[in-house]
Chain A
Amino acid sequence: MLGSRRSYAVFGLVTALSLAATACSSSGASGTGSSTPHSGGHLTFALASDPICVDPQQQGNNDAIYPARQLVDSLTDQDPKTGKIVPWLARSWEVSKDATTFTFHLRGGATFSDGTPVDARAVKDNFDGIVRLGAKSVLGASYLAGYRGTTVVDKNTARVTFKAPNAQFLQATSTFTLGLLARSTTRLPAAKRCTDHIVGSGPFTLVDYTPNKSVEERRRAGYSWGSSLWRKKGPAYLERISFKVVPESGVRTGSLQSGQADAIGGVAPQDEDGLKAAGFTLLSRANPGVPFALTANTARPLTRDARVRQAIQLGVNRKEVVDTVLSRRYQPATSALASTTTAYQNLGDRLAYAPDRARKLLDEAGWKPGPGGIRVKDGQKLSLKVVWATNFGPNQTALELIQQQLKKIGVQITLKSTSIGDYVQVRQKGDYDYAWGNTTRVDPDILRTSFSSKGLNLSRLHDSALDAVLDEQSATADAARRAGYAARAQALVLEKGYQVPVFELTTVVGVSGKVHDLDFEASSRLQFHDTWLS
């Protein structure tokens, strides 16, 4: 909204000035008081944008997920370090060999904050409800694709079946999207459960959400069914959390310095050094899933040629993009998946900057150097159209740099920006050679969503070998074998040049010295259960 480059520059200046001032005078970041974890305290977190809807099951932006995640528990949790699925509300589970049937044994004794039990019946209500939400839950619909139904085997045993193999579903049960809500919520229509009436079994309960202002949450007393990953058993340390909506990045930074906020989200790369210099801690973690990448539209005349696509892949200098446009906290992409994704395979060698090999490939493909340094073939210029959405601040600068890099190998890039809403339509219409974007998902199945010709197939692929590997990956319950297929799929996507991964989106959060143990969960979103204030 105010995201013009001029206004960014103004912020930068103002922020830098004030940071310099605080760095000299005050010590906003230094912690005082006790150094051991203790119960109590009120944490204020500044969000970069309005959550709009705090129902974890409905489609929400990243800023909705921070507050929403705290309200619900999931059947399982995922270890961010190993990617392993571990118990949370479900004590144990079995997955049929063909990955169509999933049986969950609930721990029992857990209750929603309205007192109703978290039982097999509740699991059924939730999954049925998410399917009913349909397009209102885009993520839920993809996790539950081919949902046949849930059977209540006994009070604490629920069996979920699918019409076709759906191996990713186990990981999906660890996400906030499939977090469980009480029937008093699931029976409400989508619009009635965005600002109010969100009753979960999570470590915090919703006190109040005022759009564009704040989400207030209070600790659930008597909570004792936390994830097996959490260090603290029982209720959370924090008594209250206030998520305040502070849209201007300069004001967010200042509110952290002046102690008006304890932690802030949406830290822009250019603000990182200033915050660090002022003594604040920066927490960061790469988002799993598809990194920021150029994805080819293989139905177009120029990008139909695999050699052209491979040349583009070799002609992008990822390290330069990260060093110039982003910060030390960001990493160049090293595969078709980000490094924090389950079954990620490091293929960094293949993605090394090799302009000479790129030029050779283009020569072989018949593209000869032409006027203005742009290659030509049969009187046609090697000019490619890239569409991109304005959903991440540094996108434009990154793409302009890539544009310059590719000019060196004789490829002209024209950039076409769209709003995030137009982006979907532009991709469906197909009037572009490459699309720039990313998707956050911990499970490698995201490759099937993006590249299977049986899905939306926005890349217009006809690759039976890739389809087969992606299907195998989805039809295998065994984690090790799945990882093998996923690794093969990553290699295929890169080999054929379907995707030109560039850098991994990184979530950066600034925290004051008072805040301890604010942790990222597997999808690089925040978990506040173990967090305490000194």
Chain B
Amino acid sequence: MPRYLVQRLLQAVFVLWAAFTTSFVVLYLLPGDPVSIMASGGGDTNDVSPEQIAELKQVYGFDKPLIESYGDRLWHALRGDFGISVQSGDPVTRLIADQLPATLQLTSAALLLAVVLGAGVALAATYTRRRWLRQTLLSLPALGVSAPTFWVGLILVQLVSFRWGLLPAIGNEGFRSVILPAITLAVPTSAVIAQVFAKSLRTALAEPYAQTALAKGASRRRVHFGHALRNAAIPPLTVAGVVVGNLLAGSVVVETVFSRTGIGRVTATAVTAQDIPVVQGLVVFGALAFVLANLAVDLLVPLLDPRITAAAPAVAR
């Protein structure tokens, strides 16, 4: 077990370093720079002198050679310092920390909904004996994955908020404001969960133990919800990293459509403005969320299925 854990931790560190380095290389090799964007004011095509640009580059530390800049930023990043935002002048770490609660509220509500919805669809689809219902339910995930989040959000806003006046369309104050964005974000996520879960349920139901249980006189319901469910729960868990990634990526669109604050909005504005320190901080943050989700799953799965811990050292050898 400790060796299994150490291995996972080392992997996590590697992923974080790779995310930092890749984002550094990509962002610094891009043409254009955040300083010119800021100086030009983002609106008019104002004339800015090269001297003014040079002055600002020095202020933000964009004037150093690439290697020196990389070492410098990595050293600071190790201590949780990703520099300051070119746009607002705030420390990147604080910027992300400030926005985190709003996004956590949205994503956790969406995740909860997605799990309930996804699991519900998968269970119903595999349990029902009506062929048409099963086909309909099984086609829902494909629809959910392919419907653009952006479009779903706009339709919901137009109908529920503007037409019927039931819920607010903008901002993130109070529970009511999180409902529509959470539903929008849950649609594609629940589709992923439903797809994986339905498949693993069908596999589990086809296993000999399920047949045996049925033959021994267990009810269909008992076999379905008692035996197969627990075994089928592992594959959906292993896609947790993907789900977290989906939620974070989806929050960019959802927070913009619903005028919410959060990590997604910061990402959208930082990318538009090529605010390199912020974008880099966000990439590393995304990698961290992904890594943590996977780590949590790695630790959780052995509890559900003891065979996996036994198998892990075997893989390591």
Residues of A participating in the B interface, judged by any CB pair closer than 8 Å: 1-2, 7, 10-11, 14, 17-18, 21-22, 46, 49-50, 52-53, 59-62, 134-136, 138-139, 141, 190-192, 194-195, 210-214, 244-248, 250-251, 254-255, 257-258, 260-261, 289, 389, 391, 418-425, 427-428, 435, 437-440, 449-450, 455-456, 458
Contact = CB atoms under 8 A, between A and B. Distances in A.
A424 B39 CA distance: 9
B253 A2 contact: yes
A420 B268 contact: no
A211 B274 contact: no
A422 B31 contact: yes
Find the residue from A11, A191, A211, A257 having the highest chain B CB count within 10 A.
A211
A66 to B, nearest CB: 12
Given A211-B88, A260-B169, 16 more contacts: A18-B158, A18-B163, A53-B88, A61-B41, A134-B55, A138-B52, A194-B88, A212-B262, A250-B157, A391-B44, A418-B32, A420-B37, A421-B36, A422-B31, A423-B45, A425-B31
A289 B43 CA distance: 13
Given A135-B52, A248-B257, A14 B158 contact: yes
B40 A251 contact: no
Interface in B21-39: 31-39
A139 B269 contact: no
Nearest to B57: A135
Interface string B81-120: 0001001111000000000000000000000000000000
Given A134-B52, A138-B39, A425 B32 contact: yes
A255 B33 contact: no
A255 B52 contact: no
B238 interface: no
Nearest to B268: A1
Interface in B226-259: 253, 256-259
Contacts of B48: 135, 138, 424
Contacts of A138: 39-41, 46, 48, 52
Nearest to A258: B162
Interface string B151-167: 10011011001110100
A420 B42 CA distance: 6
Nearest to A245: B259
Given A18-B163, A59-B39, A212 B168 contact: no
B218 to A, nearest CB: 51
B139 interface: no
Interface of B: 31-53, 55-56, 84, 87-90, 150-151, 154-155, 157-158, 161-163, 165, 168-172, 253, 256-262, 265-266, 268-269, 271-274
14 contacts: A18-B162, A59-B41, A135-B48, A138-B48, A191-B84, A211-B88, A254-B157, A260-B168, A391-B42, A420-B45, A421-B38, A438-B44, A439-B45, A456-B49
A419 B44 contact: no
Contact of A389 (B34, B45, B47, B268): B45
Contacts of A439: 44-47
Find the residue from A21, A60, A420, A455 having the highest chain B CB count within 10 A.
A420
Contact of A258 (B31, B165, B171): B165
Contact of B47 (A17, A213, A251, A458): A458
B88 A195 contact: yes
B47 A450 contact: yes
A62 B168 CA distance: 26
Contacts of B258: 251
A419 B274 contact: yes
